[in-house]
Amino acid sequence: MSADVAAYRAAEAAFWASIGREPTTEHHVRLPATGTVVRIQEVGQGPPVLFLHGAPNTGSTWLPLVEHLHGWRCLLVDRPGTGLSAPYPVTVSNLPRIGARFVPELLDGLGIARAHVVASSFGGHLALRSAVVHPDRFDRMVQMAAPAVIPGDRLQPFMRLLARGWVRRIMDRLPPSERANRALLRQIGHGRSLDAGRIPPAFTDWYLAMQRHTDTMHNDGEMIGNAVPRIESIRLTDDLLAQVEVPTFFWWGADDTFGGEDVARHLVHTMPDAALTMVPDAGHLPWLDDPVGAATATSTFLQAEVAHR
């Protein structure tokens, strides 16, 4: 598809307006290892918090949470290949290397020595890899529901379909629709919130514009489709997770179809400094189901003193 930056920016501005806030700064950070330019929106003042989203998505997915977060310098990253960031092909071969340096390279580009990190899904996967190698760049970390490719998780049907190249080619040609997006949200555990009207229309309008006016869906679809056949080679193992010493809090949707409470408790038990709250009636993106609860839990954890380890 041909990206329409102006149309996407207009939709994103409307999303920001719906929460009564607007970004104060837009950064463009060049990742030295690849030369990829990453766009980061900044809002608020206080200790820095880096937000890493999943796939297929962009940094603005966090706006329902950011609406209720005050006293923090929120830095919303468009991961490479999504939103208004330049693409960089993530493969099963280079993912461990990219993940290990992702957080420190972003912080270097922003001139920040260390920060809190809030992450979701594939962003959570990258954050965990960075935390193993560069714990000195993290203060505390919040993981929203299941990080990608962890022990015991479950691939979703749409991910299995993307493993077929002809399916990806067809999907690239199909016009995005609100109906398909609602079906996807149900597939990842947000059916209760959709039925109750808790997913804000501003989110669904923005998400549709993201699909229509950026290359996010194509780029992340290619990444997912190419990774699925070799998924075991990039799985975060128990041995690797046991090396994550950064204090980590999981705010996990009980309806997350990528992994339920058994997967969550195994993950938390494996990590040396991790805590868990299961969130009823919430899915894979639990801040959409309960943005106030997510903001309260995030602020409470990030404000706590880091225990001496």
What would the pLDDT profile of 173-226 be if each residue is shown by its tens digit?
888 899 999 999 999 999 999 999 999 999 999 999 999 999 999 999 888 888
Q: Is the pLDDT of residue 307 over 70?
A: no
Residues 124, 128, 130, 136: is their CA dihedral positive or negative?
positive
Amino acid identity at 177: S
| Residue 210 Cα distances to 108, 136, 168, 175, 217, angstroms | 28, 34, 17, 12, 8
Note the pLDDT of residue 173: 85
Q: Is the pLDDT of residue 9 over 60?
A: yes
Confidence of residue 2 (pLDDT cuts 50, 70, 90): low
Rounded-to-integer distance, Cα 298 and Cα 143, Å: 9
Specify the pTM: 0.96
Confidence of residue 34 (pLDDT cuts 50, 70, 90): confident
Residue spans of the domains in the chain: they are: 5-302
Note the pLDDT of residue 168: 82
Note the pLDDT of residue 157: 85
In this structure, are residues 193 and 283 in contact, taking their beta carbons and an 8 Å threshold?
A: yes
In this prediction, residues 19-26 reach a mean pLDDT of 97
The answer for residues whose C-beta is within 8 angstroms of residue 169's C-beta and 6 or more apart is none
Q: Tokens standing for 219? A: 């780029």
- Tens digits of per-residue pLDDT, 69-89? 999 999 999 999 999 999 987
Q: Is the pLDDT of residue 91 over 90?
A: no
Query: End-to-end distance of the chain based on CA atoms, in angstroms?
Result: 49
Fold of 5-302: Rossmann fold (3.40.50)
In this structure, are residues 221 and 171 in contact, taking their beta carbons and an 8 Å threshold?
A: yes
Note the pLDDT of residue 121: 97
In this structure, are residues 8 and 76 in contact, taking their beta carbons and an 8 Å threshold?
A: no
Amino acid identity at 55: A
**CA R_g for the chain:** 18
Report phi then psi at 307, rounded to 5: -70, 145
In this structure, are residues 103 and 134 in contact, taking their beta carbons and an 8 Å threshold?
A: yes
Q: Classify residue 113 by its DSSP letter.
A: S
Rounded-to-integer distance, Cα 214 and Cα 82, Å: 7
Confidence of residue 147 (pLDDT cuts 50, 70, 90): very high
- Tens digits of per-residue pLDDT, 224-237? 888 888 999 999 99
- Tens digits of per-residue pLDDT, 271-294? 999 999 999 999 999 999 999 999
In this prediction, residues 146-174 reach a mean pLDDT of 87
| Residue 46 Cα distances to 29, 62, 68, 70, angstroms | 21, 18, 14, 8
Report how far Cα 51 is from the mean position of its chain's Cα atoms: 7
Note the pLDDT of residue 305: 59
Q: pLDDT > 70: what percent of the chain?
A: 98
Note the pLDDT of residue 306: 45
Average pLDDT, the chain: 94
Helix, strand or coil, per DSSP, at residue 48:
strand
Note the pLDDT of residue 1: 53
Q: Is the pLDDT of residue 154 over 60?
A: yes
Residues 187, 164, 150, 116: is their CA dihedral positive or negative?
negative
